[in-house]
Structure 1
Amino acid sequence: MAIAPLFVLAGSIARAATPQRSLLLVANQGDASLSLVDPATNMQIVALPEGVPKMFGHEVATSPDGHFAYLPLYSDVGVGKVGTDGNVILIVDLAQQKIADRIVFDHAVRPHCVLWEPHTGLLYVTTELDKAVTIIDPRTKKIVGSIPTGEEQSHMLVLSHDGKRGYTANVGSGTVSVLDLENRKLITRIPISTNTQRISITPDDRWVFTSDQVTPRLAVIDSRTNAIARWVDLPTPGYGGTVTRDGKLLLLTLMTGNQLAVIYLKTWKVLRTIPVGPKPQEVLVRPDGKLAYVSCEASHIVNVIDTASWKMVATINVGEKADGMAWAGN
């Protein structure tokens, strides 16, 4: 696959001061803003407007040092719908609380899910219209590679913790693409359903999860065989998920059920469900593991869940249609 040239607007970014406190970041689709939240008070500090007409960011990632956030501007519509196509990734200076730079593709790609890979220090971003994951060097802000996914609507991405594999959830085709990050090639595609959404992985890289959007069940992919090892029945279709750092639990949003499911990975059973706000999207666990944050797209809230009692302990007011989240700091 040919690599498209990249053009960078604005000058290079001066090194920002490390934020004085940890931050929870929330991408708000409805009002095209990025919320910076103080997790100590559960209060929004500021909502930064994205500043590009007809473009909304859905997902966000942060640099390991907490200096910068990366916010791809996807489109003005949802996945699979006809609309204005994005070609920009905003770079946000978190200490100065402003958009400091941007990476601009020379054609529309609908950039969506962006992840920082710690072994190489590279950014990986899904670029749906290219049917690829594009690789960017954040130091130079240039494209340095591309990996074909072989499928339409490669929407979400997860990377193995050893830096060797990538997995994309391909919404419309209902498949998962397995990528070789080191050799930058497609390994295989795994059929899931006629429609699948979101993807997550265990800390030991053994299991990869994605939810069937037609039947309420979770696909458990064995990374050793690149095949579905089992299905986990769900009360309603699953959506965004993350595995706790001890590898014991998968926390999975049930978007139509307005719940957060807690799945015990030893027995592959749903232990409990917790009521949350309307249309829960993503779940993020704080680095110390004590709290989980659930963004709710049909509102302007993020629910805070205590992972000891499994009770909702706070609600954070952010922008409209709260979606992707990221953490900066310790």
Structure 2
Amino acid sequence: MASLSTLAVVSQSGESISFFNNITGEFTDRTENLAAEPHDLAYDSPRNLLYVSHTYSHGHYFAHGSICNTISVIDATTRKFTDAIELTPFGGPHGLSISPDNTILYATVETGFPNGGGLIGINLASRTIVKSIPSDSRAHWFALTPDGKKAYTSNMNSPFISVLDLESEQLVKKIPVTGSSQGAVSVDGRFAYFPTPSAQMKLEIQPTIEVVDTSTDEIVKTIPFDEGIGALHVTALGKILVVVYRLEEGASTAALKPKPGGLIVLDPTSFESIGEVEVGKFPLSLRSSPDGLTGYVANVFGGTVTVVDLESMSVRRTIDVDTKPRADKAFHQGAHGMALIRG
């Protein structure tokens, strides 16, 4: 694979994608005037395209405007919008991931099924929906197993994680949790990890990471945390990246009042912390380099990305994506989805 020399980052409130040199952090380009409001990013390396989900006309999961029903296609070479993939009758696309064989773009959707949302699969050659699997929930995030046969949707405020068989296109199990945010699957596919509860659900609930055996889809270990967990990510070296959010005194489910959060790295065998650094306000999205040595944290309310050396556990740089709130936006969400791309 050619070097992934560029970091692409969505500004949700800014309705744009900013591009940065992945070696120096220097700003190189921006795609503006995207449809409202972009959320997640997926990179199609064989075609050198970016796919951008648009979930709501404005706002966030717990307070938002009308549901959107498109995914934008961006040419990663020219940085230009080229197409919109229409998803009707499905709506509220959010999490994105491409199948291991690079043929299907999977997206969670919050509406369109009889009992809410689920996961849809879009053929990347025809750009038509070829798979639709209900989650019996308002699906928001998801994690794929390495073999591409199974997905787990994190349903935010639903009391379960949905286990989806992607071959039979069936909901096969519900794993009980107290709400959940972005989870991840181990490199070998043996375990899945999910943070609970989701942010803004019940701040007084003990935060935990639930470890799921993917052969039985049963919780086999619970890891307690002292702080709310925003998301998880597993690097190519198997390390578990955990972002925690921190709130000012007086924060509530209605007003989070974030302050700088943290990135904690867990050993995948002992689940003990092997390092921690401070990041920006309300870290939400995580990525890592193909060699597993660099971590990227998008701080949604801070409008920045924290680039972390995962060997020395030090902050390499902080990238300003979109730190200036817009007067016409009720919420400033200046850094969300990320992708490492060629060019």
Q: Same fold (TM over 0.5)?
A: yes
Q: Which amino acid aligns with 2:81?
A: I
- 1:45-72 CA-to-partner distances (Å, cap 9, x unmatched) read 22212432xx211110010326100001
The answer to whether the Cα contact below 8 Å between 1:212 and 1:218 also exists between their aligned partners in 2 is yes
Distance 1:107 1:65 in 2: 29
Distance 1:25 1:90 in 2: 14
Task: Give the one of 130, 143, 165 matched to 1:180.
Answer: 165
Per the TM alignment, residue 161 of structure 1 is displaced from its structure 2 partner at its CA by 0.6
Per the TM alignment, residue 288 of structure 1 is displaced from its structure 2 partner at its CA by 2.1
Distance 1:180 1:283 in 2: 25
The correspondence of residues 196-211 of structure 1 with structure 2, limited to 5 A, is 196-211=180-195
The answer to whether the Cα contact below 8 Å between 1:62 and 1:68 also exists between their aligned partners in 2 is yes
Per the TM alignment, residue 108 of structure 1 is displaced from its structure 2 partner at its CA by 5.7
Distance 1:192 1:66 in 2: 38
Distance 2:121 2:286 in 1: 25
> Given the alignment of the two structures, is residue 118 of structure 1 paired with residue 100 of structure 2, yes or no?
yes
Determine the structure 2 residue equivalent to 1:236.
227
Residues 299 and 268 from structure 1, CA distance in 2 versus in 1: closer, same or farther, beyond 3 angstroms?
A: same
Determine the structure 2 residue equivalent to 1:254.
244
Larger CA deviation: 84-93 vs 262-271: 262-271
Distance 1:232 1:64 in 2: 35
Q: Which amino acid aligns with 2:232?
A: G
Per the TM alignment, residue 295 of structure 1 is displaced from its structure 2 partner at its CA by 0.8
> Given the alignment of the two structures, is residue 286 of structure 1 paired with residue 289 of structure 2, yes or no?
yes
Per the TM alignment, residue 317 of structure 1 is displaced from its structure 2 partner at its CA by 1.6
The answer to whether the Cα contact below 8 Å between 2:192 and 2:214 also exists between their aligned partners in 1 is yes
Determine the structure 1 residue equivalent to 2:26.
43
> Given the alignment of the two structures, is residue 160 of structure 1 paired with residue 145 of structure 2, yes or no?
yes
Determine the structure 2 residue equivalent to 1:5.
none
Determine the structure 2 residue equivalent to 1:4.
none
Residues 280 and 305 from structure 1, CA distance in 2 versus in 1: closer, same or farther, beyond 3 angstroms?
A: same
Q: Could you tell me the percent identity over the aligned residues?
A: 26
Q: Which amino acid aligns with 1:64?
A: S
Partner SS, residue 198 of structure 1: coil
> Given the alignment of the two structures, is residue 274 of structure 1 paired with residue 277 of structure 2, yes or no?
yes
Distance 1:209 1:124 in 2: 19
Per the TM alignment, residue 289 of structure 1 is displaced from its structure 2 partner at its CA by 2.1
Q: Which amino acid aligns with 1:188?
A: K
Determine the structure 2 residue equivalent to 1:10.
none
Determine the structure 2 residue equivalent to 1:91.
73
Q: Which amino acid aligns with 2:196?
A: D
Runs of 4+ displaced beyond 4 Å = 18-21
Per the TM alignment, residue 246 of structure 1 is displaced from its structure 2 partner at its CA by 2.3
Per the TM alignment, residue 103 of structure 1 is displaced from its structure 2 partner at its CA by 0.6
Q: Which amino acid aligns with 1:189?
A: K
Q: Which amino acid aligns with 2:284?
A: Q
Distance 2:139 2:276 in 1: 29
The answer to whether the Cα contact below 8 Å between 2:159 and 2:177 also exists between their aligned partners in 1 is yes
Task: Give the one of 41, 54, 57 matched to 1:73.
Answer: 54
Partner SS, residue 106 of structure 1: coil
Distance 2:133 2:283 in 1: 30
Per the TM alignment, residue 100 of structure 1 is displaced from its structure 2 partner at its CA by 0.9
Per the TM alignment, residue 127 of structure 1 is displaced from its structure 2 partner at its CA by 0.9
The answer to whether the Cα contact below 8 Å between 2:297 and 2:307 also exists between their aligned partners in 1 is yes
CA-atom RMSD in angstroms: 1.9
Task: Give the one of 217, 221, 225 matched to 2:212.
Answer: 221
Q: Which amino acid aligns with 2:51?
A: Y
Determine the structure 1 residue equivalent to 2:330.
none
- In structure 2, runs of 5+ residues without a counterpart are 198-204, 247-259, 324-333
Distance 1:21 1:208 in 2: 27
- 1:61-84 CA-to-partner distances (Å, cap 9, x unmatched) read 010326100001111121143411
Q: Which amino acid aligns with 2:133?
A: I
Distance 1:202 1:252 in 2: 13
Per the TM alignment, residue 107 of structure 1 is displaced from its structure 2 partner at its CA by 4.1
Residues 107 and 251 from structure 1, CA distance in 2 versus in 1: closer, same or farther, beyond 3 angstroms?
A: same
Distance 1:171 1:202 in 2: 21
TM-score normalised to structure 2 length: 0.85
- 1:270-300 CA-to-partner distances (Å, cap 9, x unmatched) read 2332111111112211112221111111222
Q: Which amino acid aligns with 1:157?
A: F
Partner SS, residue 59 of structure 1: strand
Task: Give the one of 304, 307, 325 matched to 1:301.
Answer: 304
Residues 120 and 184 from structure 1, CA distance in 2 versus in 1: closer, same or farther, beyond 3 angstroms?
A: farther
The answer to whether the Cα contact below 8 Å between 1:302 and 1:315 also exists between their aligned partners in 2 is yes
Distance 1:283 1:133 in 2: 21
Q: Which amino acid aligns with 2:26?
A: M
Determine the structure 1 residue equivalent to 2:342.
329
Distance 1:68 1:275 in 2: 32
Count of residues in Structure 1 that have an aligned counterpart in Structure 2: 308
Task: Give the one of 316, 319, 324 matched to 2:322.
Answer: 319
Q: Which amino acid aligns with 2:302?
A: S
